[in-house]
Amino acid sequence: MVVLTTTYSQSNSVSVHHNQTVSAESMAHWMHCNGCYCQPQPGVDLKFYLTNCSHLYCEKCVASCAKERCKVCRSQCTTLMLGGKLPKEVENLFSDPIDMHQKFNKQFHQTLEFQKSHQRRLVRQLKEKMKLFGQQFSQFIEQANAMKGELKTTKAENEYLRMMLKKKKWNISCPILW
């Protein structure tokens, strides 16, 4: 495995966030100098440069192909020498897509499981609350029904007492009849 060491050209202002090693073997099927079409070779210390317009040049071509304007796209460019330390966005360009997919997949499942476990806990708590609320509501209905019954009894008693009182008044006002 060949590790490409990277530093920055003086004009480049991209900051370094991550450490990254990339193997020449993993890039053999696509990486090449956009000037002379040479490829990174294991055991050969050939530096490569990435332009901010996403073109690659080897150290032999960079001076002529990316001096001020990029030879491929003609835009003004700055260059980044590839190596051990790369910004995350550059690191991603040189990562194995299958590795990236697996990492993303793992992260995706971790995130999904994390959120789902919290969701399950929340739903469980809400169900408990609903159950408690249902029990309290049933108790309240029972109490209300009991009070309704008591009220009915009290009303009947009142009616009876009123009737008795009426009778008593009648007896007092007409004593001769009794």
Binding site for Zn ion (CB under 5 A): 33, 35-36, 53, 55, 58, 61, 70, 72-73
∠ Cα 38 42 48 (to 5°): 45
Q: Please state the closest distance from residue 87 (CB atom) to Zn ion, in A.
A: 18
Tell me whether residue 32 or residue 85 sits nearer to Zn ion (CB atom): 32
Tell me whether residue 16 or residue 53 sits nearer to Zn ion (CB atom): 53
**129 is written with which tokens?**
């609350």
Q: Which residue has the tokens 């440069």?
A: 49
Tell me whether residue 37 or residue 178 sits nearer to Zn ion (CB atom): 37
Q: Please state the closest distance from residue 16 (CB atom) to Zn ion, in A.
A: 22
Q: What are phi and psi of 86, to 5 degrees?
A: -135, 145
Q: Please state the closest distance from residue 100 (CB atom) to Zn ion, in A.
A: 24
Q: Please state the closest distance from residue 72 (CB atom) to Zn ion, in A.
A: 5
Distance CA 63, CA 156 (A): 110
Tell me whether residue 68 or residue 175 sits nearer to Zn ion (CB atom): 68
**C-alpha dihedral (14, 15, 18, 20), degrees to nearest 10:** 40
